Amino acid sequence: MLSYVSKRLLSSLVLLALVTTLTFAMVFGGADNVAQNILGDNATDQQIADLETKLGIDRPLYEQYGTWVAKAVRGDLGMSWTMGESVSKILSGRLPVTLSMVVLAIVIIGVVSALLGIAAAVRGGWADRVIQLISVVGFSLPNFWLGLILVVVFALNLRWLPATGYTDFTTSPTGWLASLALPVGALVLSGIASASQQVRGAMIDALRQDYVRTLRAGGIKPSSVLFRHALRNAMPAALTVLSLQFIGLLGGAAIIERVFAIPGLGSITVQAALSGDIPILMGVVVTMIILVVIVNIAIDLTNAWVNPKVRL
């Protein structure tokens, strides 16, 4: 298992290096008029040249990259070009906001999909039809449009929930929940659409296995056959789907945070993309990849624990 984790970490490091290099080349290669963007149209050539020197983007690309990597491995992601603060500080302030939203969404997706998927696999009938309907609707409604509709209905018309903004959990747990209710509601539908179908499929597969019949033949209670034996064998497939959902949610959060004016990683990414704040963008890419790697390793370890055949 130790060798598995180290292998996985090594592979992730290679991925991280490749993606950051590529991003760096793409992003900084296109940074010709960053100084112009930052200073505005009235800037003189001298001002632009000064700023480029200050930001270091007048140097050759490989030199800039070397500097960035040398700092990044020590945890220093540089200074934001537009916000006057260090990238690490900005991102660490925003990461918990996005994470709390995404984790809440994942938990809801997991629970609802498990219940729906199991019901559909075991009973068929109404649960099956609900899943089929959700799979089409959830896939077809863009989450940000759903978010807008939720705002119009629940915030503008019914006035039940705030339309925008974010309340920290430590400030007020109920306020936190209220501020996240609509964004998370908008995020989970498409996740439930795909995850519930996967759970259903995995459960149907598990229930078709020979040992399920043999367990029943041995007088084992139906609840144990279902929840202890079949569910445990269906778990790896379901968990893998959740890890893909997590990646999708990180992207989805970017748009949803914009709709609900939530100060998370997603909204700062959009802001940085529009203003050309490259250090922030690089920082976001690094943070996201590390998050995904952690989640994937955690899911693999859980799978190995659930399924003794998987040798790590």
- Residue from 6, 11, 92, 172 in contact with other proteins (CB under 8 A): 11
17 is a contact residue toward other proteins (CB under 8 A): no
308 is a contact residue toward other proteins (CB under 8 A): yes
- Residue from 56, 125, 165, 173 in contact with other proteins (CB under 8 A): 125
- Residue from 57, 161, 189, 273 in contact with other proteins (CB under 8 A): 273
* Least separation in angstroms between CB 244 and other proteins: 7
191 is a contact residue toward other proteins (CB under 8 A): no
Size of site (CB under 8 A) for other proteins: 75
- Residue from 120, 192, 255, 262 in contact with other proteins (CB under 8 A): 255
Nearer to other proteins, 46 or 157 (CB): 157
> Three-state SS string across the chain, please?
CHHHHHHHHHHHHHHHHHHHHHHHHHHHHCCCCHHHHHHCCCCCHHHHHHHHHHHCCCCCHHHHHHHHHHHHCCCCCCECCCCCCEHHHHHHHHHHHHHHHHHHHHHHHHHHHHHHHHHHHHHCHHHHHHHHHHHHHHHHCCHHHHHHHHHHHHHHHCCCCCCCCCCCCCCCHHHHHHHHHHHHHHHHHHHHHHHHHHHHHHHHHHHCCHHHHHHHHCCCCHHHHHHHHHHHHHHHHHHHHHHHHHHHHHHHHHHHHHHCCCCCHHHHHHHHHHHCCHHHHHHHHHHHHHHHHHHHHHHHHHHHHHCCCCCC
162 is a contact residue toward other proteins (CB under 8 A): no
145 is a contact residue toward other proteins (CB under 8 A): yes
227 is a contact residue toward other proteins (CB under 8 A): no
259 is a contact residue toward other proteins (CB under 8 A): yes
274 is a contact residue toward other proteins (CB under 8 A): yes
